[in-house]
């Protein structure tokens, strides 16, 4: 079975500051890793994904994440955030042998002016 | 990119009635659709996986007779909440994917907010 832990439930940060949202996973099989963003009362939008290859993946809106197999982590980073980045962020894992996505608890990113 | 729609976006119903939520893939054929439930300030919980033309596979703890799922075509899946009660109030989100074509082809709908009075 797979599980995902997002270590921070809320992350307040000032505009133009860097941010890191932490995600750790556990799995006995190889996995695919995703980060999604959810704005209020909306569905999920894919930010980026790791399937294989380079461990540093770049996504939309200036976000990037690094897959670290030894630490079973997939932290999301952005060097300079904007007010519009305020949203809920979900890390998710998908096992290589099923189609199911397992989500973390979510991290609320609150960007302050 | 692929677009998934849900209808209705919001629904309010009386306790004891049934509500149907539609999930459509607008520009691709979805061999698999997933239904999730999200409580306020919480994560998404997978309820069931449906494959076109076959019965849905429900996650542990999800009542099959309560949440009826039909995936009659490659572009449409429906979730019917039968005899709804206030505890069924939630945000329901579907996703559609072409699992056989790769692990990243899962696209999410905008969600349906159900309020049961």
Cβ of B49 within 8 Å of Cβ of A96? The answer is: no
Read off the pLDDT of residues B81-106 as tens digits, 9 standing for 90 and up. 999 999 999 999 999 986 555 656 68
Q: In Å, how far are A42, A100, B44, B45, B81 from B10, measured between CA atoms?
A: 11, 26, 18, 19, 14
- Please state which of the ranges A14-18, A84-88, B97-101 shows the lowest mean pLDDT: B97-101
Rounded Cα gap, residues B30 and B99, in angstroms? 9
Q: How many CA atoms lie within 13 A of A19 on its CB side?
A: 27
Residue whose entry in the numeric block shows the structure tokens 């999920």: A44
Output the pLDDT for position B104: 64
Residue whose entry in the numeric block shows the structure tokens 């459509």: B24
Nearest to A42 among B95, B103, B110 (CB): B110
Closest CA to A104 of B47, B42, B48: B42
Q: In Å, how far are A20, A92, B17 from B87, measured between CA atoms?
A: 35, 26, 13
Rounded Cα gap, residues B37 and B112, in angstroms? 10
* Mean pLDDT for the stretch of residues A87-108: 87
pLDDT of A40 strictly over 90: no
Rounded Cα gap, residues A101 and B106, in angstroms? 9
DSSP annotation of A20 reads E
Cβ neighbours of residue B16 closer than 8 Å, sequence gap 6 or more = B83, B84, B85
Residues of B whose CB is below 8 A from A57? none
Q: Which residues in chain B come in under a pLDDT of 70?
A: 1, 98-105
Residues of B whose CB is below 8 A from A41? 91, 111, 113
How many angstroms separate the CA of residue B65 from the nearest CA in chain A?
A: 22
Residues of chain A with pLDDT > 90: what percent?
73
Higher-pLDDT residue of B72 and A25 is A25
Residue of A50, A59, A99 to mutate for B, most B C-beta atoms under 10 A: A99
Angle of CA points A105, A111, B2, to nearest 5° = 60
* Mean pLDDT for the stretch of residues A18-38: 91
Cβ of B97 within 8 Å of Cβ of A105? The answer is: no
Residues of B whose CB is below 8 A from A46? 104
Rounded Cα gap, residues B91 and A86, in angstroms? 20
Nearest to A99 among B99, B108, B113 (CB): B99
| Spatial contact of A4 and A27, defined as CB atoms under 8 Å apart | no
Cβ of B49 within 8 Å of Cβ of A45? The answer is: no
Cβ of A96 within 8 Å of Cβ of B106? The answer is: no
φ, ψ for residue B24, nearest 5 deg: -125, 135
Residues of B whose CB is below 8 A from A106? 41-43
Residue in chain B closest to A43 (alpha carbons) equals B110
Output the pLDDT for position B31: 82
* Mean pLDDT for the stretch of residues A36-56: 89
Return mean pLDDT, chain A.
Answer: 92
Rounded Cα gap, residues B6 and B14, in angstroms? 21
DSSP annotation of B117 reads -
pLDDT of A91 strictly over 90: yes
Output the pLDDT for position B54: 84
Residue B63 C-alpha from the chain's centroid: 14
Angle of CA points A6, A12, A18, to nearest 5° = 85
Output the pLDDT for position B102: 61
């Amino acid at each position: 079975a797979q599980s995902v832990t997002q270590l921070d439930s809320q992350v307040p940060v000032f505009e133009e500051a860097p941010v890191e949202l932490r995600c750790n996973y556990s799995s006995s099989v190889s996995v695919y890793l995703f980060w999604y963003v959810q704005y209020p009362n909306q569905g999920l939008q894919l930010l980026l994904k790791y399937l294989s290859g380079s461990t540093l993946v770049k996504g939309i809106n200036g976000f990037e994440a690094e897959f670290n197999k030894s630490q079973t982590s997939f932290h999301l980073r952005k060097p300079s955030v904007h007010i519009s980045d305020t949203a809920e962020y979900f890390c998710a894992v998908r096992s290589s042998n099923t189609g199911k996505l397992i989500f973390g608890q979510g991290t609320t990113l609150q960007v302050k002016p | 990119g692929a677009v998934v729609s849900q209808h209705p976006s919001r629904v309010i119903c009386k306790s004891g009635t049934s509500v149907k939520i539609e999930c459509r893939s607008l520009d691709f054929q979805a061999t698999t659709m997933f239904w999730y439930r999200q409580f306020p300030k919480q994560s998404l919980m997978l309820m069931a996986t449906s494959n076109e033309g076959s019965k849905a596979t429900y996650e542990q703890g999800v009542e099959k007779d309560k949440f009826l799922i039909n995936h009659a075509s490659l572009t449409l899946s429906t979730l019917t909440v039968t005899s709804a009660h206030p505890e069924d109030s939630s945000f329901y989100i579907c996703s559609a994917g072409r699992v056989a074509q790769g692990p990243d082809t899962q696209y999410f709908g905008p969600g349906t907010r159900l309020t049961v009075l």
